Structure 1
Amino acid sequence: MHAYYADHFILPLPSGHRFPMAKYGRLRERLAAEWPQVRLGQALPASDGELALAHTPGYIGAISQGTLDASAQREIGFPWSPAMCERARRSVGATIQACRAAMAGEGLAANLAGGTHHAYAHKGSGFCVFNDAAVATRLMQAEHARHHRAGGPLRVAIIDLDVHQGNGTASIFATDDSVFTLSLHGAKNFPFRKEPSDLDVELPDGCGDAEYMEALERALDELERRFEPGLVIYLAGADPHEGDRLGRLKLSFDGLEARDRRVMDWAWQRRLPLAFAMAGGYGTDMEATVQAQVNTYRVALDYHARWAALARRAAPDAPAVVATWATAGTGPRWQNAAP
């Protein structure tokens, strides 16, 4: 299973900054040591043209040239630096590469970072510079259209299970019927001004495993009733975990694993390629965050093996193919449900 990283670009953050930059390198170390079935590859940077599929030229230029004003940098949460720009481009590139690998027949592929769902078309926010899922979605749709001129557009479901609502993603696709945005998130958590997704499920503080899984089942049923995707992009945030500093939910490791398995099984049962990104995770103990993310990869490898077995049955005499790429209440509150 291919997974792409950009953790060698380290942001020069001030002492005491709450963003856990070290978790990305630690995740790669754990995967390399424990799961050799994960083929780790360095992410390539997204180009200006690719970024412009989801972001305004003025914003792309301000990030590239370092002309963001102080208030824009504060909203992102990072001081501008060349490393910030390069890491942001490569984080988007990693999701692009994962989507391409998944759609090329691998079935499942990953970005060791990504899930930057607070970035809008014209600005960044909440530790998110560019929106990797939005750029990758638009690029996959463009590439699909070049090879499938007779069919309709590639329809993409973005399943966002970070504990924070994907406001930037919801805003970018607000009027796009070819993309379905689904977000399960803490009702009282950041962002405090939320954008309407196609389906939002707001969870109360302290929500545990059983309540969460019930809400997820209902959300997936609603997604299936309203939308038929050809690609799934999954934000597998570790921040619903009970040990997260910013999460306010109470999912156990087992609960997070059940969540991941349910989403990946939903896609597998429909033979939908799935690319996933790690999104948020701010554990009081960073190793707990990393463990939650390692667990996601363990589940993903199971489903990747099913895709590989399917390919072998389809062409039993063919050699194995490795894809490489150059470029508030007491319960959940539902919003935007279909009439």
Structure 2
Amino acid sequence: MKAFYADQFVLPLPEGHRFPMAKYRLLRDLIASHWPEVALQQALPASDTELLRVHTPTYVQAVAQGLLSPAAQREIGFPWSPAMAERARRSAGATVLAARAALAGEGVAANLAGGTHHAYADKGSGFCVFNDVAVAARAMQAERRGLRVAVIDLDVHQGNGTASIFRNDPTVFTLSLHGEKNFPFRKEDSDLDVPLPDGCDDNTYLYALDHALDELDRRFDADLVFYLAGADPHEGDRLGRMKLSFDGLEARDRRVFDWAWQRRIPLAMSMAGGYGRDIATTVQVQHNTWAVAVAYAHRWHNRRP
């Protein structure tokens, strides 16, 4: 199974910043120690051509040259730095590479970061600079004419940027399960939105997910799935406001991977959000997701773990 990372680019964040930058390297170390069959590869940066299929030239230039206004940096949540610009480009590039690998016969591949679904065409927001899934979807459609893409976004926050970018696009289906009252407070219209209450538990979540996947199946025939496997619905998350257990999140992951496997749809995964009160909890949630991903990668290769 191929996995792509860009955690060598560490942002110089102020002390006490709530973004858990260290989780990416911790997750990579854990995967390397537990799953030798995962081929960890440093991500290449997304090219200007790839970024400009989604983002406006003015915005791409502002990120590249450090021309973001103070207000734009506040909306993103990161101060601009060369590392911030390069990390954003590499994170998008990692999802491009994962999607390409999944379609080329791997079946399952992943970005150890990504899931930057709050980024719009012309701006960033909510710790998201470039929209990696949108960039990768457009890259794959440029390489494979007629490709139809489903985005299954299970971060606790709605994928507003992704919904905006693909609005009224019949070749991309956006599905988002998210906290109804959580960020972003101005939601966009996905093709299928499933708002969930604060305190949502395993049973409520999984029931909603089952129905959402059934509806996705009825309404859309996908050739590629992007899965945003957020850790932030976990009960230990500071920002999630849901109550999913480790077991509930593993069941969530199995449903998504099984849905794609049964239909033999290649799947590219991004890790999306996770802000546990204890960073080790977030890393464990995401490592559990990787255990499921590896098992399904074995199926694609006609093996059993």
Identify the TM-score tier after normalising by the shorter chain. Answer: over 0.9
Task: Tell me if 1:187 matches 2:154.
Answer: no
Partner of 1:122: 122
1:235-256 per-residue CA deviation (whole Å, 9 max, x = no partner) reads 0000000000000000000000
Task: Tell me if 1:169 matches 2:162.
Answer: yes
**What is the DSSP-based 3-state SS (H/G/I as helix, E as strand, rest coil) of the residue aligned with 1:309?**
coil
Partner of 1:51: 51
RMSD: 0.6
Partner of 1:260: 253
**What is the DSSP-based 3-state SS (H/G/I as helix, E as strand, rest coil) of the residue aligned with 1:93?**
helix
Cα distance between partner residues in 1 of 2:11 and 2:64 = 15
1:35 Cα offset (Å): 1.1
Task: Tell me if 1:305 matches 2:290.
Answer: no
1:98-247 → structure 2 map (5 Å cutoff): 98-145=98-145, 153-247=146-240
User: Counterpart amino acid of 1:244?
Assistant: D
Cα distance between partner residues in 2 of 1:47 and 1:140 = 14
User: Counterpart amino acid of 2:255?
Assistant: R
1:280 Cα offset (Å): 0.1
TM-score scaled by structure 1?
Answer: 0.89
**What is the DSSP-based 3-state SS (H/G/I as helix, E as strand, rest coil) of the residue aligned with 1:25?**
helix
1:34 Cα offset (Å): 1.2
Q: Give the % identical residues.
A: 73
Cα distance between partner residues in 1 of 2:24 and 2:178 = 23
Cα distance between partner residues in 2 of 1:128 and 1:16 = 19
Cα distance between partner residues in 1 of 2:15 and 2:48 = 32
Cα distance between partner residues in 1 of 2:199 and 2:121 = 32
Cα distance between partner residues in 2 of 1:107 and 1:34 = 21
Cα distance between partner residues in 2 of 1:136 and 1:34 = 28
Task: Tell me if 1:88 matches 2:88.
Answer: yes
Partner of 2:20: 20
Cα distance between partner residues in 1 of 2:262 and 2:30 = 29
User: Counterpart amino acid of 1:51?
Assistant: L
Greater Rg over alpha carbons, structure = 1
Segments of structure 1 that go 5 or more residues without pairing to the other structure are 146-152, 311-339
Task: Tell me if 1:291 matches 2:288.
Answer: no
1:229 Cα offset (Å): 0.4
1:65-85 per-residue CA deviation (whole Å, 9 max, x = no partner) reads 000000000000000000000
1:37 Cα offset (Å): 1.3
User: Counterpart amino acid of 1:272?
Assistant: I
User: Counterpart amino acid of 2:38?
Assistant: V
**What is the DSSP-based 3-state SS (H/G/I as helix, E as strand, rest coil) of the residue aligned with 2:181?**
coil
User: Counterpart amino acid of 1:213?
Assistant: L
User: Counterpart amino acid of 2:282?
Assistant: T
1:243-286 per-residue CA deviation (whole Å, 9 max, x = no partner) reads 00000000000000000000000000000000000000000010
User: Which 4+ runs in 1 deviate beyond 4 A?
Assistant: none
TM-score scaled by structure 2?
Answer: 0.99
1:39 Cα offset (Å): 0.8
